Amino acid sequence: MTTEKMEAPSVSDLDALQSRLEALQREEKEVSAKIKAINDAERGKVLVDVKALVQKFAFTSLEVFGKAKGADVPADTDSTKAKTAKPKVVMYKNEKGETWSGAKRGRRPDWVMAIFASGGDIEKYRVAD
């Protein structure tokens, strides 16, 4: 078995390798910066598209992400379904076109209160079915 001794690299060889390493590290930083810039630009375009789709289809964050942060609410619960407002029931209407549902809850409109205060008959303002 023969053993060959390797020669130690010269100082100039080490300097050349060090220079090459530094050049490669600079190039890596430049390439990484270019990749990041491209990804950021693409990400911005995709975000614009996603926002447009969310707005177009009226998605909620719960529908998009599946559940609220830290919550155990699945995305397919009734809370994610679009709520449809019940049509407003109009039972009374004055000359100005102001309306009142006649509901016993909440505050009555000022025009209704004025009729009651003057002793008027609210039934004169009832809307025909």
Long-range contacts of 1-8 (CB under 8 A, 24+ apart): none
Token readout for 61 is: 């964050």
Residues 58/82, Cβ–Cβ less than 8 Å? yes
Domain residue extents for the chain: 11-65, 85-125
**Is the model's pTM score more than 0.85?**
no
- Please state, in angstroms and rounded to a whole number, the distance separating the CA atoms of residues 52 and 8: 64
Chain centroid, CA 65 distance in Å = 10
Q: Please write the tens of the pLDDT for every residue from 51-70.
A: 888 888 888 888 888 876 56
What is residue 102's predicted lDDT score, i.e. its pLDDT? Answer: 85
